[in-house]
Structures are given as C-alpha cells and as structure tokens.
Amino acid sequence: MPISFRGARVLKELSNEELRTLNMVETLLKKGEYAPKDRIVVYSGYREKDVEIYLSRLHKQKLIRRWTGQFVGYSLTLTGFDVLALNTLYNKQIVAGTGRAKGVGKESDIYYAIDFEEKEIMLKINRTGRASFQQVKKKRDFLKNKYHYSIFSIAELSATREYEIMLKLQNQNLPIPKLLGHNRHMIAMEIADGVELVNVQYPKKPIKLLGKIIEFTKTLYQKHGIVHADLTEYNILYDIDNDSMVVIDFPQAVKAEHPEALNLLERDVSHLLDFIGKKWGITTDEVDTVIEYIVGK
Ligand SMILES: Nc1ncnc2c1ncn2[C@@H]1O[C@H](COP(=O)(O)OP(=O)(O)OP(=O)(O)O)[C@@H](O)[C@H]1O
Ligand SMILES: [Mg+2]
C-alpha cells in the first residue's frame, strides 16, 4: 500500500525505546518549554548514552527539535505528534496502516487508512492552527511554547471536541459516519459513500434530498440539541446509487443553548436553501418557514 504521510512511514522504522523516548518528550513538554534531556534520562530509566542515541535518531527523523541553552532540551515537531497519535491508534488496534490522501484542507488532512481487518477506513487529522503556526513559528516568542496553547493541544482539543459530538450522535440512526476511534488530533471513522454536494451533477430528486437534510437538521436540533454550524455543500456527501446522504465535519457544532446557536442555524439553512435552489433550479420555502419547522415553533 502506498504510504502517504511521513508520520506513518517513520513510525514503522522506530524501535519501542525510541517511541517511548518520544512519548516522554511530549509528556515533559506539558511542564515546560522544552523537555530537558536530563529529565528524559531520569524518567525513562535508560542509560544516558542510550537516550542520546534515541534522541539523535528521533532528531534525524525530524520528530523532535533540539534546543541548547542552559540545558539541552527537546520539543516536538508536527510529524512527531503524528507519530505518537498513529502509534496509539495502532496499539489500540484501530488503524493498521495508512494509505493515500483523500484531501488536504485548511483545517484537516484526510487519509485513507486500513483497520485490522484490512477494511478501508478514513483518518481525519486535525490541523487547526497549522497555517498560523507556519507564519509565526519563526518569531521567537511564539506563545512561549506553552503546551496548552501549542498547536498540538489546539488540534487535539478540536479533534476531541468533534469526536465527542459525533459520539453522542452515534447509533441514533442519523446519517453521519460511524466512529472507530480517536487519539490526540486524529479521528478514525468509516468511509461515507458519495461525493460532496458541490461536486454532484444532479441528484435523483433534489427536493427530496433537501427534505432529508432539513429533517436531519431538525432531529439534530430537537432531539439532540445541536446545531451543525458548517452545513455546507462541502460537508454533505451524496451517494447517487443509493440516493442517500451523509453529513460530516462537526468540530464547530454548538449546543442549542449556545447564544449564537440560532444565528448559526439560520446561516446554515439560508446558505443551504440558496445553494440547492440555485444549483438545481428548485424553488424552496423561505428561510424563516424552514427555521420555524426545524426549531418546532
Ligand atoms: N467519513 C468520511 N467519508 C468520506 N469522506 C470523508 C469523510 N470525512 C471526510 N471526508 C472527505 O474529506 C473532506 C474534508 O473533511 P472534513 O469536512 O471533515 O474536514 P475539514 O475540516 O472541512 O477540512 P477542510 O479544511 O478541507 O475543510 C470532506 O469534504 C470529504 O470529502
Ligand atoms: Mg469540511
């Protein structure tokens, strides 16, 4: 299988000791700007000479960054963080291997992967903060590398948030992907059939499709108290063979009690009616009427 991203490729070449050392760097970063080499030696229980070998391998693979000041310390790279997450998903028997990219977006990278039964699955890697990170990482005082504000924890928070929302919606007979697992900034889920609405030429019955999306939005709001808040033609997949749809991409979803919930719902609905109406030339109800139906007034 073609291995697509560096984290996955590198993971296969690391020894258990190197992985444990990498893990230790991550843990120590929660306490300071850099993980001091001395601390790694103490916590790992490995001999200093060995730790140096492991660290230099990790450094060569660009999984950690070296810092020399009053002490020698290390921080993680994005690839290092990927390796840690993938390793955990592997150990949990959720992801056995990774494949080609499905899409690389602003906020996430989506990869095909395989589970331990060799079934193709989807791996969503959250990259929140990546764009700004690239811009400011050269500036010396970038967040002083405080772990809790770091790119790692921001991406992890966002992925965890998405996972938890989707978890709450599992097994409810809703058209969303089935979750398979989660770690750090990664979510493993089943592949949903179909293509994004924006790439659909003509659905079998546009009005029926719109009806399904509105029903989904209504159930989400009334039964589960959630507004998707990014319900666009990129986040709805349509499968022409089964005339069915699936909604994806939940990190920004909000609870119905959220002060902006109704505004976000209105934005979702008006965008959707506009898009579907124009694209497939159908006349839809007014936004207000649909909103009233969804919130059940
Ligand atoms: N479970 C899935 N099954 C099939 N395709 C998926 C699945 N999850 C994501 N995708 C594909 O990956 C794309 C991006 O996924 P998603 O919308 O969840 O992430 P995103 O945060 O919007 O990323 P981007 O920054 O690209 O907008 C989707 O538009 C869809 O084509
Ligand atoms: Mg999306």
Query: Is the per-residue pLDDT at 259 higher than 90?
Result: yes
Ligand 1 pocket, residue 211 CB under 6 Å: no
Q: Residue 104: CB within 6 Å of ligand 1?
A: no
- Stronger pLDDT, 2 or 166, i.e. the higher one: 166
Is residue 107 included in any domain, yes or no?
A: yes
Q: What is the dihedral of CA 57, 61, 63, 64, to 10 degrees?
A: 50
Classify residue 169: in a domain, yes or no: yes
Nearest in space to 81 (alpha carbons), one of 94, 62, 95: 62
Q: Are residues 66 and 147 in the same domain?
A: yes
- Looking at all shown ligands, the one closest to residue 130's CA atom is 1
Residues 42 and 175 grouped into a single domain: yes
With a CB cutoff of 8 Å and minimum separation 6, the contacts of 147 are: 29, 30, 31, 153
The domain tally of the chain equals: 2
On whether both 11 and 152 belong to a single domain, the answer is yes
Q: Is the CB of 195 under 6 A from ligand 1?
A: no
Band of pLDDT at residue 72, cut at 50, 70 and 90: very high
For residue 1, tell me if it sits in a domain: no
Task: Compute φ and ψ for 131, nearest 5 degrees.
Answer: -60, -50
Domain hosting 280: range is 195-295
Residue nearest to atom 26 of ligand 1 (CA): 105
Q: What does pLDDT average to over the chain? A: 92
Share of the chain above pLDDT 90, in %: 84
Same-domain status, 41 and 161: yes
Boundary-marking domain end, from 170, 189, 208: 189
Question: How does DSSP classify residue 279?
Answer: H
* CATH number of the domain where residue 229 is located: 1.10.510.10
CATH of the domain at 19: 1.10.10.10
**How far, in Å, CA of 85 to CA of 15, rounded?**
16
Choose one of 141, 173, 189: the last residue of a domain.
Answer: 189
Contact 227, 264 (CB under 8 A): yes
Q: Identify the pLDDT of residue 140.
A: 47
Which ligand has the nearest atom to the CA of 200? 1
**Mean pLDDT of all residues in 72-82:** 95
Instruction: Pick the residue whose CA is nearest to atom 1 on ligand 1.
Output: 191
% of residues, the chain, pLDDT over 70: 92
Can you give the pLDDT at residue 116? 96
Same domain for 36 and 138, yes or no, is: yes
Amino acid identity of residue 149, one-letter, is: Y
Q: 157 with 200, same domain?
A: no
Q: Is residue 15 part of a domain?
A: yes
Note whether 203 and 181 are same-domain residues: no
262 pLDDT band (50/70/90 cuts)? very high
Place of tokens 């008006």: 270
CA 226, distance to chain mean position in Å, is 19
| Strands of the 244-247 sheet, one edge to the other | 195-196, 236-239, 244-247
* Domain final position from 189, 213, 242: 189
Q: How far is CA 36 from the centre of its chain?
A: 30
Residue type, 159: A
- Classify residue 251 by burial, with Cβ atoms within 10 Å: 0-12, 13-18, 19+: buried
CA distances from 261 to 177, 230, 264 (A): 23, 12, 5
Please say if the pLDDT value at position 149 is more than 90: no
Q: Say yes or no to pLDDT of 136 above 60.
A: no
| Mean pLDDT for the stretch of residues 39-59 | 97
Cα 248 to ligand 2 centre (Å): 7
Ligand 1 touching residue 200 (CB < 6 A): no
Is 165 within the bounds of a domain?
yes
Q: Residues 160-175: pLDDT tens digits?
A: 999 999 999 999 999 9
pLDDT at 148 over 80: no
Q: Does any domain span residue 127?
A: yes
CA distance 198 to 213: 15
CA distances from 54 to 3, 47, 74, 82, 147 (A): 24, 11, 12, 18, 23
Q: Which residues are the active-site residues?
A: 230
Residue nearest to atom 8 of ligand 1 (CA): 248
Query: Which atom of ligand 1 is closest in space to residue 177's alpha carbon?
Result: 1
pLDDT in tens, 179-225: 999 999 999 999 999 999 999 999 999 999 999 999 999 999 999 99
